[in-house]
Amino acid sequence: MSTLPFPLPHCLRQSGASLIEVLVTVLVLSFGLLSLGSMLAVSVQLPKIAGLRATASVLASGHIERMRANIPAFIAGNYNEELTYNGMRKGLSKPSSDCVYPNCTPALLATLDRNYTNWKLDSELPAGGMRVERDTSAGVTDGNLWIIWNEPQTFAAINPSSSDQCPSQVASFEDPKPRCLYVRFRL
């Protein structure tokens, strides 16, 4: 008598997931992990971006207050500043204060203020620079100020081209595209 069991017992039949189902599951999980990794990269970068923007805001406010304290020099155009951003750190040194009473004129004080702000921008923002212009069509004490800097480039860099109001002179800088903080002011 043969001991061959017919039909085959339940333990020898195929059961469980096939190899294709396992591969599809691994593929879906890998896409999920990739998206989590990119979200993590962006979330690590955002506090740095916010810190740079806050620094730019503080420096812009300080420069406007200096101009507010020296309105005659602003009206004379001594605070007008062409674009000082060039995409690289300039390595400026702290300006020496040669402006001492009674030899301190409004024009000399304006030059000292511009040099001090450019030094602070260069030392506190990556490749920081600025542009200041008077808006004579709006009034004698109205103006525009742009603070411009580079943000650190990472794998998940945020494209600044659609979110900033940079002056037209910055359009030629493409790699890296700078960030700008625009402030319209009235002294």
The predicted structure's pLDDT at residue 2: 56
Residue 43 lies in a domain: no
Residue 96 lies in a domain: yes
Of residues 127 and 58, the one with the higher pLDDT is 58
The predicted structure's pLDDT at residue 29: 95
pLDDT at 154 over 90: no
pLDDT at 87 over 90: no
The predicted structure's pLDDT at residue 103: 81
Q: How confident is the model at residue 88 (pLDDT cuts 50, 70, 90)?
A: confident
Q: Are 56 and 181 in contact (CB under 8 A)?
A: yes
Residue 160 lies in a domain: yes
Q: Are 169 and 83 in contact (CB under 8 A)?
A: yes
The predicted structure's pLDDT at residue 13: 59
Residue 31 lies in a domain: no
For range 138-154, the mean pLDDT:
87
pTM (2 d.p.)? 0.76
24: left (phi over 0), alpha (psi -120 to 50) or beta: alpha
For range 93-118, the mean pLDDT:
86
**Which residues span the domain enclosing 79?**
49-186
Report how many domains make up the chain.
1
pLDDT at 100 over 60: yes
For range 146-157, the mean pLDDT:
76
Place of tokens 């971006």: 49
**3-state SS assignment for residue 98:** coil
Q: Convert the pLDDT of each residue in 35-80 to its tens digit.
A: 999 888 878 888 888 899 999 999 999 999 999 999 999 999 999 9
Tokens read off for 182: 């625009």
Secondary element (H or E) of residue 28: helix 19-68
Q: How confident is the model at residue 146 (pLDDT cuts 50, 70, 90)?
A: very high
Place of tokens 């043969």: 2
Residue 147 lies in a domain: yes
